[in-house]
Amino acid sequence: MPEPVIAASGLTKRFGSLTAVDSLDLAVNRGEVFGFLGPNGAGKTTTIRLLLGFLNPTAGSAAVFGRPGSDPAIRRRIGYLPGDLHIDPRYTANDVVDFFGRLRGGVDPARVRALCERFALDPSRPVGQLSTGNRRKIGILQAFMSAPDLLILDEPTSGLDPLLQQEFQQLVRDEVARGATVFLSSHVLPEVEALADRVGIIRQGRLVTIATLEELRRRARQRIDLFTRGQPPRGLFEAVPGVVSVAYHDSGVHLVVEGPVDAVIKAAAGLSVERIHTPGQDLEELFLEYYHGGES
């Protein structure tokens, strides 16, 4: 099996009596989008700083492309967007490109222009004159401009409007198609659902689950509204495997189902069903259960 792009083993960071990251084991594979989720203070940003070598671990180890993330040769292969990118308000995006570009040994001007056009960014305006969203665009520009092999993105679309969030998602897909790997830490759950191949959820410094999106969808609960001619008989669905709750009403029944719905469909086969409404699998609810400790 190829060596993972990101590998952590027993990774731990303590600040005095506070354990920010606790015995984290993680492997991110080449070419995947790995979503890294958790509530505020869970240890997401600390994990990223450990991976990049900004912090030294208290215990355990972390490697990027088989080397420490602090290795300058490795850093040149990484595009990093921090959650809070501080830029001198006198600087322009052109200044940022020039500064980081020289650190990386140069960047392709055509790629820089294309990214600016893609996100409607005027690179000549000082940062102090820009809105929060436009400052975030500069962060995206500096992270993506060198066509890195690995993108580590911490809340990348914070402050962007919905249209630009969609454009960002397409940019990530384009980079993955090019061969890049993406480590995405985000509170925008629909964004993670749209982009990630796998998800890791961290809570109180501990990784509580790693799963593919398909595995999470199988765990997620679905809401199904059956609209019938006449009220269904009471007791029809209560014993059906996977049914979590049943609520009858004058025009049908509302069901919450965990897992496959095949048994529900079979149970409804004898009814005169006029319409079915399925809002879909509530992954957000499942994510929040993990956040609050309802899953393990």
pLDDT in tens, 28-79: 999 999 999 988 888 999 999 999 999 999 999 999 999 999 999 999 999 9
CB 82 within 8 A of CB 98: no
pLDDT in tens, 168-184: 999 999 999 999 999 99
Which CATH number is 220-292 given? 3.30.70
Structural class in CATH, domain 6-216: alpha beta
Which pLDDT value is given to residue 200? 94
pTM as predicted: 0.81
**Which pLDDT band holds residue 215 (cuts at 50, 70, 90)?**
confident
Angstrom distance (rounded) from CA 234 to CA 253: 10
DSSP string, 14-59: EETTEEEEEEEEEEE-TT-EEEEE--TTSSHHHHHHHHHTSS--SE
Token pair of 165 as six digits: 């969030």
Q: Which residue has the tokens 């879909």?
A: 280
Token pair of 226 as six digits: 């059956």
CB 97 within 8 A of CB 107: yes
Q: Is the dihedral of CA 110, 111, 112, 116 positive or negative?
A: positive
Residue 237 contacts by C-beta under 8 Å, 6 or more apart in sequence? 243, 246, 253, 255, 264, 267, 268
DSSP SS3 for 177: helix
Which pLDDT value is given to residue 159? 86
CA geometry: angle at 266 spanning 261 and 267, to 5°?
95
The residues spanned by each domain of the chain are 6-216, 220-292
